[in-house]
Chain A
Amino acid sequence: MSALRKRLTATPTPQGHAKGQLLDSCPLEQQDPWNQTLATIATGDRAAFADLFRHFAPRLRAFGAATPMVDSPSAFGDELAQDVMISVWQKASMFDPGKASATTWIFSIARNRRIDLLRKRNRRPEVLMADDMFPDMPDDSADPFTLTQEERLGSHLQDMLDTLPAEQAEVLNHVYVEGKTHSEVAEELGLPLGTVKSRIRLALQKMKVDIEAGWQP
């Protein structure tokens, strides 16, 4: 989570720049560099797929392996990484960079596939699938205010994450990467639920992710 670790783990983007540098040196360039790679994958290009795989598979594997209550975390990490990358291959032509960046799109596939794979593993009834609970939302990007907020958020989020107090970064990681609810995180850390909620709320407010509904500039 530290800046040091980020530098150590930064891998070259398709343009050959480290991602952080790209954003820092070109504030106007707010596009996710992987957007173009996905467009190339949509044409059936396996070399582009391999590029994307080398960047995202280690992340997806860590994301899967962090899942609580699976017997073999590393095997689940491999299974999830492979499953998500195959979905990316199948769905690349449906990717719309106007709605979400490539990285956000891949995160949503990873979240959804983890839910469905866990349900299957636990032999729970398959009535509501993740794609039902997380359907494509209507494109609200015609709203100029929303778009500006999201563009600004995109370029600063990574830096702001690095400036969060460790206790706030920790709870965010528990929720997003390990996939635990606020209550489960509270139980694991031995904290009152209210403390976990307020840590997350403070982090989200600091990063300008939490903007009160109906708030106007």
Chain B
Amino acid sequence: MIRHHPDIAWLTDYAAGTLPEAHAVAVQAHLHFCRDCRAQVRRLEKLGSQLLEQSVDGGNTEALLEQTLACLDKVPAAPQQATAPAKTGWDFKVPTGLSRLLPDAPEQLSWKALGRSLKISRLVAGSDKHEVALHHIRAGGKVARHDHGGNELTVVLKGSFSDQLGQYEAGDFIIRDKGEAHSPNAAEHEDCLCLTVVDAPVRFTHPLLRIFNPMLKIHPA
């Protein structure tokens, strides 16, 4: 059961279309799992339609109408399907927004191991500020305790993990702020796959691991 949702400010910014792409794709991944938030977004879009209805400029639009009618002859009648094709080589149903960023199967991504339990694959999302990545934690695996230089946004795609602050399952949307150190731990019976979006590098808190911190950088792409 989904227990962690984007708050109403996140959903409002999503529905109004003001979130950066990397954040919007994470919210969409949550909506893929969460019926309650989908209903919330529908209501927020309805509100948007009423605000559009109220914003009117008084100018004449007849000339623009003539121009537009003239264009109608030149545009194709049937629009092309705009979203990416469904990705079927994954062992979970890939949210539509994320489909654009993923290859057909996980083997086609390049994965980087960070310790025994965690491997990461960075995705190209067209972002200049955020690093978008998949984090894979092996069943029962534990990720070293770390803090965050900025915000870390996580959406669980498959499996589950827990940390000092809670337990998270598929669909959960988690924001960790600077100063909220944690050490995620995947459930024993299943690997855990998460979508993450960060705007600053993580920082290991363990004295022996801290020497790696200066080398950790984010790679917005």
Could you tell me the distance between the alpha carbons of A158 and B54 in the complex, rounded to whole angstroms? 9
Report chain A residues within 8 Å CB of B128: 124
Could you tell me the distance between the alpha carbons of A57 and B25 in the complex, rounded to whole angstroms? 29
> Any chain A CB within 8 A of the CB of B36?
yes
> Any chain A CB within 8 A of the CB of B57?
yes
Candidates A86, A111, A182; contact of B9 at CB < 8 Å: A182
> Any chain A CB within 8 A of the CB of B96?
yes
Which residues 12-59 of B sit at the A interface, judged by CB distance below 8 A?
Answer: 12-13, 16-19, 21, 24-25, 28, 31, 34-59
Candidates A49, A77, A82, A129; contact of B82 at CB < 8 Å: A129
**Stretch from B73-81, B110-118, B153-161 forming part of the interface with A:** B73-81
B12 touches A175 (CB 8 A): yes
Candidates B17, B54, B58, B79; contact of A1 at CB < 8 Å: B54
> Any chain A CB within 8 A of the CB of B68?
yes
Q: A100 and B16 in contact (CB under 8 A), knowing A86-B68, A86-B71? A: no
Which residues 50-107 of B sit at the A interface, judged by CB distance below 8 A?
Answer: 50-59, 61, 64-65, 67-69, 71-72, 75-79, 82-84, 96-97, 99-101
A125-B126, A176-B16 given. 18 additional CB < 8 A pairs? Answer: A46-B69, A58-B58, A62-B56, A62-B57, A82-B68, A82-B71, A90-B75, A100-B46, A101-B49, A127-B21, A128-B125, A140-B35, A153-B43, A173-B51, A175-B13, A197-B9, A209-B40, A210-B40
> Any chain A CB within 8 A of the CB of B211?
no
A211 touches B64 (CB 8 A): no
Q: Which of A89, A135, A200 has the most CB of B within 10 A?
A: A135
B52 touches A63 (CB 8 A): yes
Could you tell me the distance between the alpha carbons of A213 and B207 in the complex, rounded to whole angstroms? 41
A137 touches B41 (CB 8 A): yes
> Any chain B CB within 8 A of the CB of A65?
yes
Q: B-facing mask of A118-147, CB < 8 A → 1, else 0?
A: 000000111111111111011010010010
Candidates B9, B12, B44, B97; contact of A132 at CB < 8 Å: B97
Candidates B35, B58, B79; contact of A91 at CB < 8 Å: B79
> Any chain A CB within 8 A of the CB of B209?
no
- Chain A residue nearest to B71 in the complex (CB): A86
Least CB distance from B176 to A in Å reads 18
Q: A181 and B100 in contact (CB under 8 A), knowing A127-B125, A150-B46? A: no
Least CB distance from B1 to A in Å reads 9
B contact face: mostly helix, strand, loop, or mixed: helix
> Any chain A CB within 8 A of the CB of B174?
no
Least CB distance from A171 to B in Å reads 10
Could you tell me the distance between the alpha carbons of A63 and B57 in the complex, rounded to whole angstroms? 9
> Any chain A CB within 8 A of the CB of B124?
yes
Q: A150 and B42 in contact (CB under 8 A), knowing A62-B55, A135-B83, A201-B8? A: yes
Q: A128 and B21 in contact (CB under 8 A), knowing A61-B61, A78-B64, A158-B50? A: yes
B28 touches A133 (CB 8 A): yes
B52 touches A137 (CB 8 A): no
> Any chain A CB within 8 A of the CB of B5?
yes
Could you tell me the distance between the alpha carbons of A126 and B49 in the complex, rounded to whole angstroms? 26
Least CB distance from A169 to B in Å reads 9
> Any chain B CB within 8 A of the CB of A70?
no
Report chain B residues within 8 Å CB of A22: none
Report chain A residues within 8 Å CB of B77: 90
- Chain A residue nearest to B98 in the complex (CB): A132
Report chain B residues within 8 Å CB of A132: 25, 28, 82-84, 96-97, 99-100
List 26 A-B pairs, Cβ < 8 Å: A54-B61, A57-B61, A61-B61, A62-B57, A63-B52, A82-B64, A86-B71, A90-B78, A100-B42, A101-B49, A104-B46, A107-B48, A111-B48, A114-B17, A124-B128, A128-B101, A140-B35, A150-B42, A161-B51, A161-B54, A175-B12, A177-B55, A180-B18, A181-B13, A200-B9, A209-B44
Which residues 33-77 of A sit at the B interface, judged by CB distance below 8 A?
Answer: 46, 49-50, 53-54, 57-63, 65-66, 77
